Every structure is written in C-alpha cells, then in structure tokens.
Structure 1
Amino acid sequence: MDLTRLAVDAGRFINRAVQYTGESLGQAEKTELDSGLEELLAQADATKTWTDSIVSQTEVLLQPSLARLEDRLYEHLEWSAPPRPRAHELLGDQMTQAGLEIGSNTPYGESASVCAICLLSFCPF
C-alpha cells in the first residue's frame, strides 16, 4: 500500500468536499461561464423543447383519430367540415416556429423549415 498515494487521494477528497459544501451553502463564488457557452446552452434547451413538442405532435398525427374519420365522413357525404386545425397543420406550424426560433442558418432550423414546407404542401390528409 502506497501511503503517498493514499494521502493525495484523501487530500483531493477533502478539497472536493469543502468546495461542494461552500457551493451548497452559497458561500462560494459561482463560476462565470463564457457567454458563448451560455448561448449554446440556451440553444440546446430550445432545441430540446422544440424536439419534444414536435415528437409529441407527430405521435398525435400518427395515431388513429376520430377527427380524421369525421373529416372523411364529411368528404364522403359532401358536407363542409367544421373549421379546425388539422394535426398535420399543427405539426407544420410547430416545425416552422422551431426553425424560426432556433435559426434558419442552423442545420436543425433549416431542416425543420424544409420539413414543414413539405408537410404542409404534400400531406394527403
């Protein structure tokens, strides 16, 4: 057993415990993050929020829906359906908003905008 190694490990453990205690009690200074890093963190949060929203709306679109059955019935009977946003329109709007908020110059924003255009232009239902 190496006593020097044990002493070094114990010293590190004590230093980390002191640092954690100081941060927990609010006595230590908060480490300031680089503004670029804070911007990336904000963009990552926005991306996660929009992705969760888009996935949720995609699940709604893919699930069997009574509203779509009702729309088909109105088409078959040649009646006018009551005005309401359809699932693919809501998904397209969310993709468009995500693309605009995240930025159309980013790969995520550009692909969300392109998918929204395709969805709203070519969706058969």
Structure 2
Amino acid sequence: MFEVSLDTVCFIIRKCREFQAKEAVVIPDSPDGPEDDWALQVLADHADDLSVQELRATFEDMEPAEQAEVVALMWIGRGDFDVSEWAEARSEAKSAWNPRTADYILATPLAADYLEEGLDACGFDCQE
C-alpha cells in the first residue's frame, strides 16, 4: 500500500517525539499573523539539534513520493482525510510537495500522534 517503508515512518515518529518533547521547543498552534514564518524560526533555533538533523537526513534520502505519503498519513491522522480517501490525500500531498517536507512535519504540533493515528487507520503500527 505504501511506497515509504513502515520502519521509516516509525523512525520519523520517534524523531518527532524526541524533538517536540524538549522543553525549549515551543510550536504555537497558529502563527500570530500570515506574515509570520514561525515554523522556520522555531526550526532555525534548533538547527543543531540531533533529532532535527536526523529527521532532515531521513527526508533527504526519501523520494518525493515517499515524503508525500508521510504527509498524507499525517493528514489522515489529523482528520483532514478519511482512510477511504487515501488516494486523494496522497495525490494532494504529491501536488503540494516541496523540499521542506521535514520542516513541515517537525513544525506541526502533535505530528507524531497524527502519524501514529494515520498508520492505525491504515491498519499498521510501530509496535515490534
């Protein structure tokens, strides 16, 4: 069903949890205004963070279609799409793809939870 491997998605979930669980990381639910590039500011403050570096390297090693699937899984877990709309979610994520996918995932509050919920909706999990 997926082009991206389950192991890769589970690794991304772990790295998101590691990064977003740190006390110094504060990702607002919404920006103060449309001119604020708050996500890039937050991530720039943590550019030397090992979790951020590992996650970015993982995304750099992935094909755009695999990156889009991670985004589609997150959208399903967040409730933007139902699992029955997988093809549509994946297609929309492919259309919206850009080279900053890792930053988009990292800057999404609860990204790890959404990814887990998306996997669960598709009948998968990260349990060994």
- TM-score, normalising length: structure 1: 0.32
RCO greater where, 1 or 2, for CA within 8 Å and sep 6 or more? 2
